[in-house]
Amino acid sequence: MYTKVEEALYFMIKANRGLKIKSDNVDRSFHPIGVYMIIREITDTEDVLISALLHDTINYTDYGYEDIEERFGTLVADMVSDLSEDLSIAKWFERKKDYIKRLKRNNDPNVIDVMIADKIHNLLMLYDSFDKNGDKVWKNTGGSRDENCFVFREIYNIGKSKHANFKLMERYKDLIIHFFGGVDEQEDNI
């Protein structure tokens, strides 16, 4: 019999079957597993670990809120929903700004920590390519370098204002400095 976390891992891999991360041509499951591993360093709370594994399920698979709620409960489904973008917003940068606005209103420290872990892993996946190719890496993200810089810095500021886990924030800050030269700590840019 699977634990709930093992069941979530199985569900996530099944949901992502055949999907690839376009920038690396690796299985889409790689990213949620990476986010899970980062979160696992700071918590052993089952629902948070499951949310880390499933955080992109609504955005990238055929499974929705109801599927997650049925299998893993309302708390997990709510966290995953909070971490999902509104895909009805077609333009990448507008969708990201909407996501940022929603996260600024979110007061769940677990959602904020998973969000920071997600962005850490997003940047880690680009790390080698960035060191070799510089700002050309942003062409695969959907936004320009400046738009990506804005998004990653704004999310850093949300994490800081919401008192996200210190260890996560230090790691995230180091990555932002590497990619963008600094964190540009500002208040309410949106």
Express each pLDDT in 126-185 by its tens digit.
998 898 889 999 988 889 999 999 999 999 999 999 999 999 999 999 999 999 998 876
Q: Does the structure show a pLDDT above 90 at 26?
A: no
CA 63 from centre of chain:
17
The pTM for the full model equals 0.94
Instruction: Give the pairing type, strands 20-21 and 26-27.
Output: antiparallel
Query: Within 10 Å of residue 131's Cβ, how many Cβ atoms?
Result: 10
Q: What percent of the chain has pLDDT over 70?
A: 96
- For the chain, helix (H) and strand (E) counts, in that order, are 10, 2
